[in-house]
Structure 1
């Protein structure tokens, strides 16, 4: 029996067997964390908190200042459109996560279904999704910190130290401090981080409920007229920009190797996260545009806190909300940086990146070196780049990764129909096809400079793949060894 010779084309399309992916993570629950494995220590509600923590607030706390000027009061429809897209994709994620319960999220799913080159490209999109979004979130943290300091003590951090170049400052120091605090917590261990995050999610939900309760007292139906001043195109553009607000659904699947009973827990946590997120987003959006004319949103910092001050005529509601936002945005940053490190862990384990990225501390069971690298990169982006560019880059990376997962569901159903699945997408193949279509629609609504930045990123990624990854791929080494043994 002979084995076909590997050609350049076949090397780029080689797939990693699902059985191999699962086998590599099978001992993740072993005590001690030695041998480079992660520990299974996260339950359903902790995992749901990770999803809610990464999603609720990622956009709501600051994205209205950029999306409302693009759509007017119809930004409500933009949130609904983004939620429908996220919901369709969440169902696809639930199936893939239950069938392939490993770290790496859509990177690992693409490796199993679409091949190595596509998987590497998806990995790059995930770097944009997690790393860049963490930077965007950290930028907004400084805005609410300044709002709280101003209301509580009458002082503000000088713009030179609280804003990026081009936005009136030299460096965003609060964003750097936030990232440093998050990294210090993450290197202590995933279980500790999940417990802290669960407490912060409770605070976050409380302050958003406070916003809705107080904000509705200032609701004026006249603020919703005209409802769609910038037309359907404005709704699309706004939905494209705010879509990164739904990345927390993806963050759930990055914890595949640290979750107890992953085939059941992963899909349940994704669905729970989606329901909570959608209800809160729509409620906050309706309240915000009903309480304030849409023209006032543009350029408004710490906007939700300001709305509460305007509605009540008092400073305390805004101060309480700003304090809650400070805690909440910390939890968001915690989760997305966590997700970023687990993507790099999976890529390092596969040989797509240097093996240093897959090293795990025997003491804490976490990829410590990996986490510090991510922290430094995220802090640098947050310190020197404006929020608007970071948000759109995140949306593009997220949409591409989401579309790939939906394609993966179709391929895996065809290639491995008997693979055990804890959850199956309903109305197959309509749901994954709709998911792909909605993602493509939102991608076309992004700004031109976002595609330019994305193109530059892909060029750099291609250089890394052909310069390093294709030569160090563990899957390639395995195939070569098998050919030698057979031949």
Structure 2
């Protein structure tokens, strides 16, 4: 049967009913990936992909936009992520596959929309990994200064291409080496296998949670309520102030909730995914929101809002200013080095699993789905991702990367929200879901989630929308020149 172009664009993958969640899961999924992840390491993957970027790196970007009201920005971002987390929890229980929202879209709204979603996820994960690796360089330098009095030479910790006041600036001879070394270390761990990577990540997550508790305890000794007045920024040039500034800052920090999506990318490597994936998503969100709020309040109480702008290794500097000693900053920088390492690790992991899922469906070359027989890890896939992420991190400034990641994340979250009522309609009563279900029916929570995402998205910069439009154009061209002809559904 020959399908029309329209039918090809909306064709969907079959949704296969799950076995009883109480039944012992197979050690190897049907795709060849090993089911090695339990509930705790899976939750730590979500926390590891989230805590670190939003706190250690983006305060310097978000506080200048909103002032002390950045606390509301974190709350808005958390509320939006919470609404979407409920949608993720149901879909992950129904469709426990690698690929996260890409797989959800393919099973519900069709192949073309799924490919566009895949492009958003690749943008989201690739740039997030590069941006967090770049931020790691500042904390590494702060640690070396406080511990040994050694500065990494400027030419080896700054990018060649930087966004300046007058547009793009090219600094010949500059290369940001520390982020590239970080990406190499992450690649080595991921090639060794998922179990080893997850165990390493869980240890690093517990360490950084302890470091953040240490930060809150020390910062509160210098807490000054006057730092919260005025709560909203006044309207000045390039600073919208008021709720406009809060919304703009929410767009900047929203990318840090990427960890919810990362949990869903591991669906085919999770033991009892129908139960564990939804619980891990909701648990990670609660842990992350609690720590974000504690650190944001204590940081703003310890330092006036105007001092955050342009501040590198900001939390370490705050502790040094509060105590007048170097050792608290040394401890914080060491924690940040571990923290951002874990964020980069799980973000690269998520990128490789999304590429794996797309390749398995025939929409991109088969290289990305080849799995090592010994480690059950997609080695070639991982190497390619690490090369691309390392090049971006070593050469490009991170100024615009945060908002681009937020754009990709918000788009993915909206598609996930749309997929909930569609999957309920497709499965009907003949395919009951024994896992989590979105409360209040299939329409209310998804609709609120979409509205919240649009509210945050509207305040992203015009440059972000332009770059996103170019990326989407490339994705459409790729689909019609390669994906639509090589799709497994097309061959079937």
1:266 is aligned to 2:277: yes
Contact preservation (8 Å) 1:27, 1:37:
no
CA–CA distance in structure 1, aligned partners of residues 487 and 74 of structure 2: 40
CA–CA distance in structure 1, aligned partners of residues 457 and 339 of structure 2: 28
Return closer, same or farther for 1:157/1:193 CA change in 2, 3 Å cut-off.
same
Report the CA distance between 1:19 and its aligned residue: 1.9
Residue number among 156, 174, 180 corresponding to 1:176 in the alignment: 180
1:467 is aligned to 2:481: yes
CA–CA distance in structure 2, aligned partners of residues 388 and 408 of structure 1: 33
Report the CA distance between 1:417 and its aligned residue: 2.4
TM-score, length of structure 1 as denominator length: 0.94
- 1:442 is paired with a residue of what secondary structure? helix
Report the CA distance between 1:36 and its aligned residue: 5.2
CA shift digits 1:337-358 (9 cap, x unpaired): 0000000000000001101111
Residue number among 7, 15, 18 corresponding to 2:12 in the alignment: 15
Contact preservation (8 Å) 1:137, 1:329:
yes
Residue number among 137, 149, 152 corresponding to 1:142 in the alignment: 137
Bigger shift: residues 412-421 or 228-237: 412-421
- 1:257 is paired with a residue of what secondary structure? helix
CA–CA distance in structure 1, aligned partners of residues 362 and 415 of structure 2: 21
CA–CA distance in structure 2, aligned partners of residues 156 and 28 of structure 1: 51
Partner of 1:420: 432
CA–CA distance in structure 2, aligned partners of residues 206 and 268 of structure 1: 23
Report the CA distance between 1:28 and its aligned residue: 9.3
Partner of 1:44: 39
1:436 is aligned to 2:450: yes
Partner of 2:400: 389
Partner of 1:484: none
Contact preservation (8 Å) 2:18, 2:94:
no
Partner of 1:334: 345
Residue number among 357, 362, 377 corresponding to 2:388 in the alignment: 377
CA shift digits 1:81-134 (9 cap, x unpaired): 000000000010000000101111000000011100000000000001111100
- 2:437 is paired with a residue of what secondary structure? coil
Partner of 1:129: 124
- 1:247 is paired with a residue of what secondary structure? helix
1:187 is aligned to 2:191: yes
CA shift digits 1:154-213 (9 cap, x unpaired): 111111110112446721110000000000000000001000111000111011111111
CA–CA distance in structure 1, aligned partners of residues 112 and 324 of structure 2: 57
Partner of 1:409: 420
Runs of 5+ unmatched residues, structure 2? 163-170, 234-240
Partner of 2:236: none
Alignment RMSD: 1.7
Residue number among 273, 277, 298 corresponding to 1:287 in the alignment: 298
CA shift digits 1:429-461 (9 cap, x unpaired): 211110011011111111111111111111111
Residue number among 312, 330, 333 corresponding to 1:322 in the alignment: 333
CA–CA distance in structure 2, aligned partners of residues 371 and 187 of structure 1: 7
Q: Paired residues, what number?
A: 470
Contact preservation (8 Å) 2:189, 2:197:
yes
- Map 1:59-458 to 2 at 5 A: 59-167=54-162, 170-229=174-233, 230-418=241-429, 419-421=431-433, 422-428=435-441, 429-458=443-472
Runs of 5+ unmatched residues, structure 1? 479-487
Contact preservation (8 Å) 1:90, 1:270:
yes
CA–CA distance in structure 2, aligned partners of residues 228 and 417 of structure 1: 48
